[in-house]
Amino acid sequence: MATDAEANKRRAALAALELVPSGVTIGIGTGSTVNLFIDALAANPGRVRSAVSSSQASTARLRAAGLAVVELNELPDLALYVDGADEATPARHLIKGGGGALTREKILAAAAQRFVCIIDDTKLVTTLGRFPLPIEVIPMARTLVARQLTARGGRPLWRQGFVTDNGNYILDVHDLSIADPVALERELNQITGVVTVGLFAARPADVLLVGTAQGVQTR
Ligand code: 5RP
């Protein structure tokens, strides 16, 4: 039987389907919520022309669902990107990267005219930071970046045994104070060796669909 969170993720995923224009190519994120969205696309053949994927995992699921996967570089533009998040604020600032796909996710968010984020209501927070902030780093810079993060008051933990689709490592940073997500994203982006910060604030979601037991809230 589906848990409450899973049922709410499904509600958000189905609501996102309503925002997909027919016959376009869309960007697809990564994670359990997006998997439900892919299932919804599979149940509506022809709804999208094709998809650009943010991870090997989503590519495999899209292909298994019979959906064509194309490269971002083949497209003149990208109308829509649909993805989940680990935390979201009412201002639609996000923490992402729990699944380790943050770099390609950030590229698709940057490329898309519209970014629709789908979450269940356990992920809605007033202030980001309860969920440890994932940061993708070049492997040889792992300890260099970790020291810089510690100096900023964070507690970085290496996600051992995990390598991103880009061949890099993830540091999950606990205890960071994220009062100003845009400023912190900019600051952490400047640390040499950082590939991508899992803060999606400079380019927030355009629409946040929050699945709740009472229905879907749009923010
Ligand atoms: C992957 C992500 C996911 O969107 C995030 O981890 C949420 O995943 P889920 O939908 O499984 O809760 O950022 O890198």
pTM of the entire structure?
A: 0.97
Same domain as 156, residue 181? yes
Phi-psi domain of 90 (left: phi exceeds 0; alpha: psi -120 through 50; beta: other)? alpha
For residues 215 and 15, the answer to whether their CB atoms sit within 8 Å is no
- For a mutational test of ligand 1's pocket, the pick from 9, 10, 11, 34, i.e. the residue with the most ligand atoms closer than 8 A to its C-beta, is 34
Same domain as 89, residue 159? no
Same domain as 137, residue 120? no
- For a mutational test of ligand 1's pocket, the pick from 33, 38, 107, i.e. the residue with the most ligand atoms closer than 8 A to its C-beta, is 33
CA of 35 to the centre of ligand 1 (A): 10
Rounded to whole angstroms, how far apart are CA atoms 70 and 53?
A: 8
Q: Taken in order 118, 62, 194, 115, is the CA torsion positive or negative?
A: negative
Same domain as 80, residue 171? no
- Residue 38 DSSP SS3: helix
Task: Kindly give the confidence (pLDDT) of every residue in the chain, 219 residues in length, as a single tens digit, with 9 standing for 90 and above.
Answer: 578 999 999 999 999 999 999 999 999 999 999 999 999 999 999 999 999 999 999 999 999 999 999 999 999 999 999 999 999 999 999 999 999 999 999 999 999 999 999 999 999 999 999 999 999 999 999 999 999 999 999 999 999 999 999 999 999 999 998 999 999 999 999 999 999 999 999 999 999 999 999 999 999
What is the per-residue pLDDT for 31? Answer: 98
Distances (CA, A) of 191 to 162, 166, 167, 195: 21, 19, 19, 9
Same domain as 46, residue 141? no
What is the per-residue pLDDT for 177? Answer: 84
**Closest protein CA for atom 7 of ligand 1:** 85
For residues 5 and 210, the answer to whether their CB atoms sit within 8 Å is no
What is the per-residue pLDDT for 1? Answer: 59
Q: What is the DSSP letter of 124?
A: B
Residue 87 appears among annotated catalytic residues: no
The contacts of residue 53 (CB under 8 Å, 6+ apart) are: 28, 59, 62, 69, 104
Instruction: Give the CATH number, domain containing residue 144.
Output: 3.30.70.260
Same domain as 50, residue 33? yes
Number of domains in the chain: 2
What is the per-residue pLDDT for 66? Answer: 96
What is the per-residue pLDDT for 136? Answer: 99
Domain that holds residue 160: 133-198
Same domain as 179, residue 87? no
| Ligand 1 binding pocket includes 86 (Cβ within 6 Å) | yes
Same domain as 83, residue 39? yes
Closest Cα partner for 93 from 137, 125, 132, 54? 125
**Closest protein CA for atom 5 of ligand 1:** 85
CA of 95 to the centre of ligand 1 (A): 9
Among the listed residues 74, 87, 105, 187, the single catalytic one is 105
